[in-house]
Structure 1
Amino acid sequence: MISLLDTRARVANGTLTAAEAIRAARERIAERDPALRAVLRTAPPETAVPESGPLAGIAVGVKDIIDTADMATEFGSGIYAGWRPRADAAIVSRLRALGAVPLAKTATTAFAGLDPAATRNPHDPGHTPGGSSSGSAAAVAAGLLPLALGTQTGGSVIRPAAFCGVAAIKPSFRLLPTVGVKTFSWALDTLGLFGASVADITRALALIADRTEIEAREPDRPRLALCLQDFAGAPDADALAALTVAARAAERAGASLRDLVLPEPFARAWAAHPTVQDVEARQALAWEYAGHREALPPVLRGQLDRAQALSTADYDAARRDAHRARRLLKEMFSEFDAILTLSSVGRAPRGLSSTGDARFNRLWTLMGVPCVNVPVPGDGLPLGVQVIARFGDDGRALAVARMIEGALARA
Structure 2
Amino acid sequence: MLSLLDLRARIDAGRLTPDGAIGLVREAIAHREPEVGALVCVDAAPVIPARGPLAGIAVGIKDIIDTADLPTRMGSSIYETWRPRADAPVVARLKNLGAVPLAKTTTTPFAFLDPTPTRNPHDPGHTPGGSSAGSAAAVAAGMLPLALGTQTGGSVIRPAAFCGVVGIKPSFRLLPTVGVKCYSWALDTVGLFAASVADAAHALALMADRPAIAHMGDAGAPRIGIVRQEFCAAPDPEAEAALAKAARAAERAGAMVRDLALPGTFGEAFAVHGTLQDYEARQALAWEYATHRDALPPLLRAALDAAQGIETPAYDAARRTAHHARRGLKDVFSENGFDVLLTYAAPGAAPAGLANTGDSRFNRLWTLMGVPCVTVPVERNAAGLPVGVQVIARFGDDGRALAAAGLVERALRG
Superposed, 1:178-197 pairs within 5 Å as 178-197=177-196
| Counterpart pick for 1:401 among 365, 380, 405 | 405
Matches within 5 A, 1:262-281: 262-281=262-281
TM-score, scaled to structure 2: 0.98
Q: Which structure 2 residues correspond to residues 303-342 of structure 1 after superposition, within 5 A?
A: 303-334=303-334, 335-342=337-344
Aligned residues: 409
**What is aligned with 2:156?**
157
Q: 1:107 aligns to what?
A: 106
Q: Which secondary structure state, in structure 1, belongs to the residue aligned with residue 257 of structure 2?
A: strand
Question: In structure 2, what is the equivalent of residue 238 of structure 1?
Answer: 238
The counterpart of 1:360, out of the listed 356, 362, 368, is 362
For 2:163 and 2:332, how far apart are their aligned partners in 1? 32
Counterpart amino acid of residue 23 in structure 1 = G
How many Å separate the matches in 2 of 1:246 and 1:208?
A: 29
Q: Measure, in 2, the Cα distance between the counterparts of 1:141 and 1:159.
A: 13
**Rounded Cα–Cα distance in structure 1 between residues aligned with 2:326 and 2:200:** 26
Counterpart for residue 65 of structure 1 = 64
2:144 aligned counterpart, secondary structure: coil
How much does 1:377 deviate?
A: 2.5
Per-residue Cα deviation, 1:305-338 (whole angstroms, up to 9, x for no partner): 0000001101000001100100000111112100
| 2:374 is equivalent to residue 375 of structure 1 | no
Match of 1:134 in 2: 133
Tell me the alpha carbon deviations over residues 124-161 of structure 1, each in whole angstroms, 9 at most, x when there is no partner. Answer: 00000000000000000000000000000000000000
Task: Structure 1: give runs of 5+ residues left out of the alignment.
Answer: none
User: For each residue in 1:61-106, what CA deviation from the matched residue of structure 2 results, as whole angstroms up to 9, or x when unmatched?
Assistant: 0000000001000000000002100000000000000000000000
Q: In the alignment, which residue of structure 1 is the partner of 2:5?
A: 5
3-state DSSP class of the match of 2:330? helix
Which one-letter code corresponds to 1:128 in the other structure?
T
Q: Secondary structure at the match of 1:230?
A: coil
Output the TM-score relative to the length of structure 1.
0.99
How many angstroms apart in 2 are the aligned matches of 1:285 and 1:262?
34
Residue 124 of structure 1: aligned partner: 123
Percent identity reads 67
Aligned to 2:374, the other structure's residue is in SS state strand
Which residue of the partner structure matches residue 389 of structure 2? 385
The offset of 1:296, in angstroms, is 0.2
SS of equivalent to 1:154: coil
Segments of 5+ residues of structure 2 without an aligned counterpart are none
The one-letter code sitting in structure 2 at the alignment partner of 1:377 is E
Q: Could you tell me how far 1:192 is from its partner in structure 2?
A: 0.3
2:380, 2:360 → 1: CA distance? 22
d(CA) in 2 for partners of 1:221, 1:69: 44
Q: Separation in 1 of the partners of 2:262 and 2:220?
A: 25
Instruction: Tell me if structure 2 keeps the 8 A contact 1:44–1:70.
Output: no
Matched, 1:302 2:299: no
Q: Match of 1:193, SS?
A: strand
Q: Secondary structure at the match of 1:366?
A: helix
Distance 1:198 1:215 in 2: 10
**CA distance in structure 2 between the aligned counterparts of 1:165 and 1:158, rounded to whole angstroms:** 10
